[in-house]
Each structure stands twice: as C-alpha cells, then as structure tokens.
Amino acid sequence: MQRLIDAFFNSVRAFRKLAVSEKAFQQELMLLALALPLGWFVSISWRGYALLIGAVLLLIMVEVLNTGIEAACDAFSREFNVDIQLAKDCGSLAVLISVVIVAGVWGIAIIERITGLPI
C-alpha cells in the first residue's frame, strides 16, 4: 500500500511541475477544462461523452510521456546527438498522432450532433 501512496505523491509532484513550467501541458489542461462541459453538449450518449473526454486525456498522457522522454534525453546530454534527436522527434510524433485522434473523435461527434445521424 505504501508504494501506491508514494506513486500518488510522485504523480502529484510531476503534475504540479508540468502545470507550472510546460506550455503544451498547460494548453492541454485548458483544452480538458473546455472539453468537460462542451463534450456534454456535443455527445449524444454517455459513451460518446466518455470517448470525447478520453481522447483529450489520451493527448495529455502522450504529452506527459513526451515530456518525460525530453527530460531524460536532456539529463543525458544537451549536446546534439542523432539518437537523442530521434527520440525527441518520435515523442513529438506521438503527440501529433494523438492530436489527430482528438480532432477525428471530436469532428465525428460534432457531425453526429449537427446531422442527428450516427456515423
């Protein structure tokens, strides 16, 4: 049980650090704050609402992992290194893919709401 408690406090520490210092994380938290009420009006079911919010949470999770990759790479070396560049670029690509997923999920939900037809 102590491991779970320690993990919780580690997570809170990371959340605070990212919320204060990482612009992308701050923007995604704002997106989540907007998505929570907006998703209620866009979705046509509880399942749809969960999918809309889950997509935004997925984006935040990928951003957190990307930030972790960047921090680990920077701790190793700040000098240019092809392998470090690839690791950082792959993290960035993962964030981009998750942005596309969010846009697709929300786009489909908005089309469903406007047309009244489930896609």
Asked if residue 92 belongs to a known ligand binding site, the reply is: yes
Catalytic residue among 35, 49, 59, 63: 63
Active site residue 79: no
Asked if residue 85 belongs to a known ligand binding site, the reply is: no
Asked if residue 22 belongs to a known ligand binding site, the reply is: yes
Asked if residue 79 belongs to a known ligand binding site, the reply is: no
Q: Are 34 and 56 in contact (CB under 8 A)?
A: no
Of 22, 115, 110, residue with least CA distance to 71: 22
Asked if residue 112 belongs to a known ligand binding site, the reply is: no
Residues belonging to the active site:
63
Q: Which residues are annotated as a binding site?
A: 3, 22, 24-28, 63, 70, 88-89, 92
Q: Which residues are annotated as a binding site for substrate?
A: 3, 24-28, 63, 92
Q: Which residues are annotated as a binding site for a divalent metal cation?
A: 22, 70
